[in-house]
Structure 1
Amino acid sequence: MSAQDQREHDRAGALAARFAEVFGHAPDGVWRAPGRVNLIGEHTDYNDGLVLPFAIDRSALVAVRLRRGGGPEGDVVDLASTWAPAGEELSRVRFRAGGLAPGAVPGWGAYPAGVVHVLAGSGGVEVPGFELLLDSTVPVGAGLSSSHAVEVATVVALDELLGLGLDRPAMARLTQRAENEFVGAPTGIMDQSASLLGRAGAALFLDCSDLAAESVPLPLAEQGLAVVVVDTKVAHSHADGGYAARRAACERGAAALGAGSLREVPDDADLGVLDPETARRVRHVRTENRRVLAAVARLRAGDVRSVGELLTASHASLRDDYEVSCPELDLAVDTALAAGALGARMTGGGFGGSAIALVPAERAGAVAAAVERAFAAAGLRRPAAFTVVPGDGAGRVR
C-alpha cells in the first residue's frame, strides 16, 4: 500500500468511527472522491472542447448507511459534515429524498441533495433515506473542485449501495446535472470526469463532446518536477454571474458563427462578424483547445518540462481574452515565474481560487515562499501553497 493509500485508509477508519459516534451505528462503507487540478484546458469543457486535468491527492470522504425498514423516516436523508461553522463540531442538514426541488437544500448539503434529486427524478431510482458523514481535505473555494468531489463521492456510494451499475461517464453526466439543475451552477463535465476517471501518475485527456478519455503519463517526480498550487484565498463561486456570462457569450458566439458549439467552429471562421468582447471569448476557447493538443503531444513524447510554456500562454489568454483572472491570481503567476517556475497559470473557473506552477522539484519551496512574500508586500491575505500529485479516481476505501 502506498503512503497516500495508507493515509486515505486511516482517514476512512477515523471517519467510520466518527460516524458511529454521530449516528449510533457503523456505516455501510466509506467512499472517496478526489479534487482535481486542471493542468490545461480552461473554460473549454462546456464548449464541447478538450481538457487535461488530473485527480489530486486531496479528497472528499463520505461514510454512508442506508435506512432500512421503511417507517415515517424511511426517506429521510441525514447529512453531517466536518465542514462546520466556528465553534461547532459538525454542520448538519436534513431533508426527505422524495419531492426535492432545486433550491430546497441550502449550503453544502445541496451537493448530495442534487445527486438524490437527479437519481430520483429522470433517473427513475427509488432512493431511500440514508445517513452520510462527510470529511474533505479539498480546499473550499480554491478552484480545486471541492463541490464536485462531494457529489462524486455521494454518487459512487449510492451506486454501489443501491446496485445501480452506473458506468463512470454516466456518473459524470449525472453529477453535472445535479450541479446544473439543482445547485444552479452552469458547469461543464470536466471536474466530475477527472474525479471519476483519474489515474495515479497520469493526466486525463478528455474530449468533452463525447467523453472519450485517455490517461496520458504525467511523470512529475521521475523528471524532477512538481506542481505547486497557490490558493489565493480569494473565494469564488460557479453559481455567480461571471461564470454564467462567459458561458452565455460562448453560446452567442457559436450561434453567430452557425455552429452548435465552439468546438464545431472551423479554424478559418471570421471572428470579425462578432462584437469585440464575444470575439475575445471565442478566441480563448479555440486557442486553448490547441494548447491542450500541444500539451498532450509533449506528454506523450515524455517532455513534461516544455508544457510549462503552454501553461503561461494559457494564463495570458484567460487574463486578456476570457477575463476571468484577478490581481491575486496574476500576482501568483508572475511571482512564480520570476522565482523559477517553468510555467504557471490560474486554474479552475477563475475570479479567485488557485494558480498552479510547474516547477523543478528543488525549487518548489522557494517558489511558494516567493509568492507568500509578494502577497505580504501587497498587503494581501496570506495564500496557501502546497504541492499535489496525480492520484487515482473515486472509489470505495473501506
Structure 2
Amino acid sequence: MVPLTEIVTSAPGRVCLFGEHLDYLGLPVIAAAIGLRMQVMGGHTDGQEWIIDKPDLNEHDRFSGRGEVPYGLHGGGNFLRAAVNVLRREGVALPGGAHFHVRGNVPVQAGTSSSSALQVAWIAALLALAEDPRAGDAEAIARLAYVSEVHEFGHSGGVMDQYTSALGGLVRIDPARDNAVTRLPARLGAFVLGNSKEPKDTQGILSRLRRAAHGGAEQLRQRLGTFDWDQTPLAQAEELANGSDELAVTLGALRNRDLLEHGHRVLSREEPDHAELGRLLTAHHAVLRDALGISTPRIERMLEAALAAGALGGKINGSGGGGCMFAYAPDRPEDVA
C-alpha cells in the first residue's frame, strides 16, 4: 500500500570512548556518534494495517493497526512493534494504517548500536507521523527509544546507545543525574572501525557482568561497611582484592570510572592531546579484556595490527564478545584501515 504521507528520519550508530559497562551501574559514559546511519521512510495509509519492510535483512512485518500490538520478549523486530504500544500509552495519536521502509549501513549485532539507531529513527518517524510536538525534542526521543527497546523488555542495558544516537556528536551522559548530557568540545581526528564479524550475545554478556558487578559491590560493602559506585576510592577497594571473579569485575568498573574522568579532562579541550587520548583508550580496553573478559583473540589481533600501523590507541566497542573494535588514527587512517 502506498503511503499517503512521506516521512524520512535517520539516526547514527555510535562508538563508546569511555564507560563501557558503566551506564547500567549509574556511572557516566562518553560516546560519539559515527557516520553510519539507520533510516526510516514512509507514512500513514488509509488502511487498518501497519507494514514494515526491511529490504537489507530481507524481512517484512505486518500487524493490525488497532489495539495493542502483540510481540514476544526477545527483541529484534519486536522493538518496532513495542514502540507503537509505548507511544500510544504516552498519548501519541498514531493512525490505524501505515507503511514504512527501513534501511541502513550500521553493522548489525556488531556493537555499534544498530538497533538503538533504528529505534531512535523509528520513534522520530512515528512522532512526526502523529504531528506530536516531541518530534523535535532529541532527549524525549532518546527516552522513548530507551523505554521501548530496553525497559519494555526487562533488558539490562543503560541509556548510552539511545541518547548518543538521538543527540549526536561527542557527549557525556550521566545516568545518576537524570541522564544529564554534556557536549564535549574536543575536535577529534579519524577513527577506524573494524568489524570482527564474530557473533555476540549482547544480553547474555550484559546480564552476566551486571550480576557480577553488583555481587562484587556487595562484597566490598560488607567488608568496608559502605560502598558507592561514584565515591569509593579505587585504591581502597583494591586492597580487598581476593581473587573473586565478581570482585574483579567490580574493580574493573572502578578502574574504568577513573579512566573516564581522565578522558573527560582530555576531551574538554577543543584541541585535545591526541596521544594521551589514544593511551587512555588502550588502557580502557585492557580493563575490558582482563577484568571483564569481553575481548576475543580476533579483536586482539585487529587492535595489534592497528597499533602497529600507526594508530594511537583503540578498544573493543560495545558489550563485547565479538562485534567491532575501533582505533584512533588521526594521522594515518588509511594505513590503519
TM-score (norm 1): 0.75
Matched residue count = 325
The equivalent residue for 1:65 is 43
Q: Quick one: which of 162, 172, 181 aligns to 1:205?
A: 172
Where 1:263 maps in the other structure, the secondary structure is coil
Letter in 2 for 1:38: C
* Contact 1:341-1:359 at 8 Å conserved across structures: yes
1:115 and 1:273 map into 2 onto residues whose CA distance is: 43
Q: Quick one: which of 94, 97, 100 aligns to 1:132?
A: 100
Letter in 1 for 2:103: D
1:330 and 1:66 map into 2 onto residues whose CA distance is: 47
The equivalent residue for 2:190 is 226
Specify every segment of 5 or more residues in structure 2 that has no aligned partner in the other structure, as ranges.
Answer: none
Change in CA separation of 1:115 and 1:260 when aligned onto 2, cut-off 3 Å: farther
Please tell me the root mean square deviation across aligned C-alpha atoms, in Å: 2.5
Letter in 2 for 1:128: P
Where 1:217 maps in the other structure, the secondary structure is coil
| Structure 1 residue 284 displacement after superposition | 1.7
| Structure 1 residue 64 displacement after superposition | 2.5
The equivalent residue for 2:336 is 367
* Contact 1:310-1:343 at 8 Å conserved across structures: yes
| Structure 1 residue 243 displacement after superposition | 2.2
Question: Identity across aligned pairs (percent)?
Answer: 31
Structure 1 runs of 4+ with >4 Å offset: 181-184, 255-262
2:143 and 2:246 map into 1 onto residues whose CA distance is: 28
The equivalent residue for 1:19 is none
The equivalent residue for 1:297 is 265
2:324 and 2:86 map into 1 onto residues whose CA distance is: 30
TM-score (norm 2): 0.87
The equivalent residue for 1:253 is 216
The equivalent residue for 2:304 is 334
The equivalent residue for 2:24 is 46
- In the alignment, is residue 82 of structure 1 matched against residue 46 of structure 2? no
Matches within 5 A, 1:1-398: 23-25=1-3, 27-68=5-46, 73-74=47-48, 76-85=49-58, 91-97=59-65, 98-103=67-72, 108-121=76-89, 123-129=90-96, 130-166=98-134, 167-182=137-152, 185-199=155-169, 203-209=170-176, 210-220=178-188, 225-239=189-203, 241-258=204-221, 263-264=229-230, 266-267=232-233, 270=237, 272=240, 276-301=244-269, 302-305=271-274, 306-361=276-331, 363-368=332-337
Specify every segment of 5 or more residues in structure 1 that has no aligned partner in the other structure, as ranges.
Answer: 1-22, 86-90, 369-398
2:117 and 2:230 map into 1 onto residues whose CA distance is: 30
Higher relative contact order, chain-length normalized (CA < 8 Å, sep 6+): 1
1:339 and 1:47 map into 2 onto residues whose CA distance is: 35
Where 2:77 maps in the other structure, the secondary structure is helix
